[in-house]
Amino acid sequence: MSAFDVINPATEQVVASVEGLEVDSTDEAVARAKQASESWRRVAPGDRSRLLRRFADRVDSDIENLARLEVANSGHTIGNARWEAGNVRDVIAYYSAAPERLIGQQIPVADGLDVTFHEPLGVVGTIVPWNFPMPIASWSLAPALAAGNAVVLKPAELTPLTAMRLAELALEAGIPEHVFQVLPGKGSIVGQRLVDHPDVAKIVFTGSTEVGRQIMAGCAAQVKAVTLELGGKSANVIFADADIEAAAATAPYAVFDNAGQDCCARSRILVEQSAYEAFMAEFEVAVKKVVVADPADETSEMGPLISASHREVVASFLPEGSPIAFRGSAPEGPGFWFAPTVVTPESSVHRLMQEEIFGPIAAVMSFATEEEAVRLANDSHFGLSGSIWTRDLGRAIRVSRAIESGNLSVNSHSSVRYWTPFGGFKLSGLGRELGPDAPFAFTETKNVFFSTKE
């Protein structure tokens, strides 16, 4: 074990010291999970449902505490953090109905009965990033538990506290010991061991494309199932016929929410030429209105970046001579603050248009035709999210079908809905989370033929 400090990114003060696991202690946790999974899969579906509903209830009564913990650990605004804790409650409640709905098929055959079963995998390993520690943890743990698996969860080193609290709440709710364990520690040690461990049947990884590639390669060695939720560089495409006022008023929140540390951030804004000037004038007003302040303050709309080193990475995207159009404000003094910044690169090949910055920098470019808008939107290795603003219904349908991305919204910047599928095209990932089918992704389909011959 080796202890590491957890830092409040808004104050740079130490919030807690956490014991990180090593390879041996990770192996011990996986062994406990494997044993727990044997009895958890045999808990009657109705009882598994009831326990998950109780877990959701425990989360509900702990929302304020979880939210405060996230403000202190991750610098999320208190408003966002309450939403995130509520999201965990809702995700667990939604999938609490799944154990009784893991319905197989009965397929017509001669001389017998053919049925399919959805068998739990055993132990599921889930590896979570620091940007949305609570929701992302719940998106895999809830459907995996519902399908009868044990879960070992590796939180990001920077943000382990809310996940650790969720494990306590699960125990309080009566979920048997070791069915859901949180394993803090380094990605290169604990995370890597979960990928390599033969008793971990599936990995759900959310994080960078770079680490995701290594994880997929690691899983390939054991033909292990893997779901990848990776990076993004999503487009917000605004046509001249749209409600430009609404598009400009909402665009800042679609990219600067969570200080831009959002895989779905609409960080490339593409505006039709004839509306460009009007949009930019209103967008500037809206960006300057974003309240960047102490995240514990009820009125704060944007907090700090997660760490000093991440702030350096974000700042490296703006060397001398960068095409900065305008900036919002940020507090002085301690904390990893970075003012919202809008840039206007001349070409789509510019790194400001291509690379995921994961900070509050939005790049704006104009386009002339619908065809060019689609081409620019698709000029990316990523394909996670995006928005389309237009009042033309036919265009909304054409463009939403043409953009290579897993999650689009028209005339809004809707966030992830847990009851709809979520995931990325291209380098943004592999597989889908959430939605009604998610529990099946934590099962193996088994086909059994029963002969009726005498």
Residue 23 to residue 190: CA distance in whole angstroms: 6
Helix axes 78-95, 63-74, angle to 10 degrees: 130
Residue 382 to residue 229: CA distance in whole angstroms: 11
Identity of the amino acid at 306: I
318 binds ligand NAP (CB under 6 A): no
Q: How far is the CB of 33 from ligand NAP (least distance, A)?
A: 17
Site map (CB under 6 A) of ligand NAP, residues 424-443, x = contact: x---xx--------------
188 binds ligand NAP (CB under 6 A): yes
Q: How far is the CB of 184 from ligand NAP (least distance, A)?
A: 9
Query: Of 231, 335, 359, 360, which lies in the binding site for ligand NAP, with binding defined by CB under 6 A?
Result: 231
26 binds ligand NAP (CB under 6 A): no
Residue 128 to residue 134: CA distance in whole angstroms: 9
Stretch binding ligand NAP (CB under 6 A), from 36-44, 76-84, 184-192, 443-451:
184-192
3-state secondary structure of 298: coil
358 binds ligand NAP (CB under 6 A): yes
Q: Cβ(386)–Cβ(365) under 8 Å?
A: no
Taking the C-alpha atoms of 238, 243, 244 and 249 in order, what is their torsion angle to the nearest 10 degrees?
-100
- Ramachandran sector of residue 223 (left: φ over 0; alpha: ψ -120 to 50; beta: rest): left
Residue found by looking up tokens 């326990």 in the block: 51
Number of Cβ atoms within 10 Å of the Cβ of 432: 18
67 binds ligand NAP (CB under 6 A): no
Residue 138 to residue 16: CA distance in whole angstroms: 23
Nearer to ligand NAP, 138 or 344 (CB): 138
Q: Cβ(240)–Cβ(216) under 8 Å?
A: no
Residue 229 to residue 136: CA distance in whole angstroms: 10
124 binds ligand NAP (CB under 6 A): no
- Cα–Cα distances (Å) from 10 to 133, 332, 393, in that order, read 17, 11, 44
384 binds ligand NAP (CB under 6 A): yes
The single residue of 263, 264, 272, 356 carrying the catalytic annotation is 263
Nearer to ligand NAP, 228 or 242 (CB): 228
Query: Of 7, 121, 128, 226, which lies in the binding site for ligand NAP, with binding defined by CB under 6 A?
Result: 128
Query: Of 192, 227, 344, 407, which lies in the binding site for ligand NAP, with binding defined by CB under 6 A?
Result: 192
DSSP code, position 302: B
Identity of the amino acid at 319: P
311 binds ligand NAP (CB under 6 A): no
Q: Is 372 annotated in the active site?
A: no
Nearer to ligand NAP, 26 or 428 (CB): 428
Q: Is 219 annotated in the active site?
A: no
Count, in order, helices (H) and strands (E) of the chain: 14, 20
Site map (CB under 6 A) of ligand NAP, residues 256-275, x = contact: -------x------------
Query: Of 75, 120, 191, 359, which lies in the binding site for ligand NAP, with binding defined by CB under 6 A?
Result: 191
Site map (CB under 6 A) of ligand NAP, residues 392-431, x = contact: --------------------------------x---xx--
Chain contacts with ligand NAP (rule: CB under 6 A): 127-132, 136, 154, 156-157, 186-188, 191-192, 195, 206-208, 211, 214-215, 229-232, 263, 356, 358, 384, 424, 428-429
Residues labelled as active-site residues? 229, 263
